[in-house]
Structure 1
Amino acid sequence: MGRKAKHHYIPKCYLKEFTIGGEDTSPFWCVPINNNTPFQTSPNDACAKRDYYTVQHSNSLIVEDWYAEEIEPKIKKGILHIKEHSSLPPKEEMPYLFLLLATLYLRVPSFRNLIESPLKRTREITNSIAQDIKIRNKSEFEYDQTDIIMSELRLIDTVQTCLSNKYFQLHVIDDTKSNVVTSDSPFILSHPNSSNGYCFGLNTPMVEICVPITKHAIIIARNEKITEGSFKATEQLIGLTNTKVILSADRFFYSTNSEILLVNDNLSTHKHKISTKKDVTPA
């Protein structure tokens, strides 16, 4: 057997909940945000990159294996409860949901780029200065993929703790003809002042977290107190979530159906056709 080189940055156990068949091989629509032609793929081949979690270690797959063997089983429990009971997990099982959300927030390429950007800029400045001035500790400004992955791992507990202090709502879609989409960056942070270049983070007042959990379930979380529990998702919330997911996607978004709900600037809903082909069929 060859070395496991294709690493998922979003777990297959999450992605398969947006297919019809609900399996790793079940198809769903993959829509490039650069307006290229949509195509059908499966969780096996979505949100994965070659050697994404390969590190400098005697076991180069130690992080990839840890995610697969230690983290994904816990994530599955959180998804399964929501899927089977259409409710938030009980208090003792909420850490499974926090872990899922932390995974969707931290592991995606867009967040890795966020970590790497200042490191890359610092290295560029150091290399530029070194052309004229001898820098004795120049090597200390170097980094590799292992360093970035270690930063990600150190943040997992911090993000989970942060999430545990928020108020949560689960919005369930009971119309089988409607579905929410997901993407390669499905953890969405929004803020009323974001259009003005306002910088915000997980603990910023008035920030809202919106994450599609399955094709029929949406998580909303806020720092300010809101009525927690499970609610029927409105058509407007479905359309707004889909619009947010698409606008926040890095390269692709994924949908069970070829027709999805979106919202206009005035938040009125309309249906958008991804493709003129028929919907994907169960695996």
Structure 2
Amino acid sequence: MTANMSRNHHWVPQCYLKGFTKGRSKKSTLYVTDFEVGRQFSSVPRNVAAGRDFNRVDIDGIPPDYVESGIAVFEGKLDKALERICREREIKGSEDLNLVLNLIALLAVRNPGMRENVRHSHEQVMKRVMDLTLATKERYESSFAKAARAGALNAEDILPYERMREFIDRGEYTISVSTTHHVGQELKLVDAILPLLGQRNWLLTRALPATGGFVTSDHPVILQWADRPMTGGLGGPGFALRGTEVLFTVAHDLALIGTFEGPDGVVHADEKQVALMNGVILGNWQRQVYARDDRFRYRMQDGEIRRGADALRHLGTWSR
């Protein structure tokens, strides 16, 4: 790995986060509410929603930062598009909209919480497989002997059935999934989601002055049923399903709502509408919520409009 290779990889791009700062720059600060550690503080975009080697791939013949470098090129174009959108408070061209939709697709599938869900799913499957393999000594020995003949492992490395049974029964292990696998699956999901986003009608929502503006989070793409009472018993919404909406805050004063049936165009949101959108976002973070300052408004199910400074006290801390 070369000395100048970036190791701090953002799953929420800095060029997007700076749209929620006062100066719209990487050096301007965000107001961060961290529900995991129970703190509210100011931070520059570089220091949030990032992890070491989050996009690193380990594939023969391909540089480890291949994906991160490609994302950086995309973010360079996206940064200019977001600057135009924020300045003009509208999305004028199809190219700028396409860049924003690519961002939404990426953000919908790439974050540590999603990766942990994938890892946990793999772990449950593997544990079930091991339980079946260890159902009898004969099945165990036959399965691993077959794997050794196929070259998947060395015969001398196979543990005796009794030791393996004891190890599995203790449950003192976890199944890991490589970052390379995560990245590959995420890029496939982006390819699947992006055309579905392009089929939606997008309503650009402008926050009126004195509303406190929109917030975002480390899990900023909201996919929900457009008719919220439908949620009880229909299962989770999907990007291809009609009757759903995608909510995405583009910047401090702009948000997008994408539906198959609804209108496109531009509307304005008053304090109650902005607070309602922010309340949805505050119900979908992985760990942190980002805003311009502590004066943003949000509204939860009780209908009361509250200020951002009260969010931690009102909603409490959260731990995995």
Q: TM-score, normalised by structure 1?
A: 0.87
Q: How many angstroms does 1:137 deviate by?
A: 5.6
For residues 279 and 244 of structure 2, the distance between their equivalents in structure 1, rounded to whole angstroms, comes to: 18
For residues 247 and 195 of structure 1, the distance between their equivalents in structure 2, rounded to whole angstroms, comes to: 17
> Match of 2:296, SS?
strand
Q: How many angstroms does 1:117 deviate by?
A: 3.4
Q: How many angstroms does 1:275 deviate by?
A: 8.6
Distance 1:194 1:137, change over 3 A: farther
Q: Deviation digits for residues 55-76 of structure 1, max 9, x if unmatched?
A: 113411111111012x212322
In terms of fraction of residues, the more helix-rich structure is: 2
Contact conserved, 2:78 with 2:99, CA < 8 A, in 1? yes
Where do 1:102-251 residues align within 5 Å?
102-131=105-134, 132=136, 133=140, 134-135=143-144, 136=146, 143-175=177-209, 178-191=212-225, 192=228, 193-196=230-233, 198-224=235-261, 226-251=262-287
Q: 2:64 aligns with which of 57, 60, 63?
A: 60
Q: How many angstroms does 1:143 deviate by?
A: 4.7
Q: Which has the larger radius of gyration?
A: 2
Q: What is the identity percentage for the equivalent residue pairs of Structure 1 and Structure 2?
A: 21
Where do 1:35-46 residues align within 5 Å?
36-46=38-48
Contact conserved, 1:180 with 1:212, CA < 8 A, in 2? yes
Distance 1:274 1:35, change over 3 A: farther
- Structure 2 residue aligned with 1:280: none
- Structure 1 residue aligned with 2:309: 273
C-alpha RMSD of matched pairs (Å): 2.6
Unaligned segments of structure 2, at least 5 residues: 153-174, 313-320
Contact conserved, 1:87 with 1:229, CA < 8 A, in 2? no
For residues 124 and 92 of structure 2, the distance between their equivalents in structure 1, rounded to whole angstroms, comes to: 42
Distance 1:38 1:63, change over 3 A: same
